[in-house]
A = this chain, B = another copy of it.
C-alpha cells in the first residue's frame, strides 16, 4: 500500500508528521514525499526542511493521497502542477486525506463541492466558499474523502485511517507505540471553546503567516 504525502514551500511540519508517524507503522505501508522536484522543502518556520524524493508530475497511482496545510497553502493554491497532481491522484486513490487548511487545496482542485469536511478553525469560511459543508469535528470521513481539523488533528485522523485499513487492534497498537495518551498541560476543550481574545490574537498571527514566509531565512 502506497501513501503519497505532498509537500510545498511553507507547509506546517506537524500537519505532515502527525499523520506520517501513524501511517508509517501500518504493516506493508510505503510512504513517499512528493514536491515540485526532489530535494529539501522548507516548512513554514524556514528552519525545518523535509526531503522530497519524487516530483508532482511523476506521481503515478497511490492508495492514500495525503495533503497537509500550512501558511504556504495561499501560494500553493496557484501552483498548477500541484493542483493537477491532486486532481489526477484523487480521481483513483482509495483515500484522499486533507489536513488543516490543506483542505483548501482539495477545494481548489475541485474536490469539495457538496462534500462534508472539517478543516482548521481559521479556514472554515474559505472551505465553505468551495461549496463544502464544514463541520467542527476533529476528523470527518465521507466516502473516499477524509479530512482533519488543524495541525495536530493529523494524528487522530491517521489513527482513524489506520483503524479502517487494519482494524482497531492495529490502531491501538500504533497509539501505544507513539504513546498518544495526550495530557495538554493547559487544558483541553475545542478551538470554538477558547476565549474570544485568544482566538482573535491567533487569527492575527495566522493572517500574517504568508508575509512571514517571504521574510524567512532558510539555512539549507
Contact = CB atoms under 8 A, between A and B. Distances in A.
Given A14-B21, A40-B40, A177 B206 contact: yes
Contacts of A47: 20, 24, 30-33, 53
A75 to B, nearest CB: 19
A151 interface: yes
Contact of A184 (B31, B40, B180): B180
A121 B179 contact: yes
User: How many subunits of this chain does the assembly comprise?
Assistant: 2
B160 A179 contact: no
Contacts of A94: none
A114 interface: no
A189 B179 CA distance: 10
Contact of A14 (B138, B178, B220): B178
Nearest to A16: B17
A44 B178 CA distance: 13
A88 to B, nearest CB: 21
B51 A33 contact: no
A177 to B, nearest CB: 5
Nearest to A49: B51
Contacts of A179: 100, 120-121, 149-153, 191
B182 A182 contact: yes
A53 B150 contact: no
A123 B213 CA distance: 39
21 contacts: A13-B21, A14-B155, A16-B17, A18-B18, A24-B47, A31-B47, A38-B220, A50-B50, A51-B51, A51-B220, A121-B179, A151-B180, A156-B184, A156-B185, A159-B186, A168-B186, A172-B187, A173-B205, A176-B199, A179-B191, A182-B182
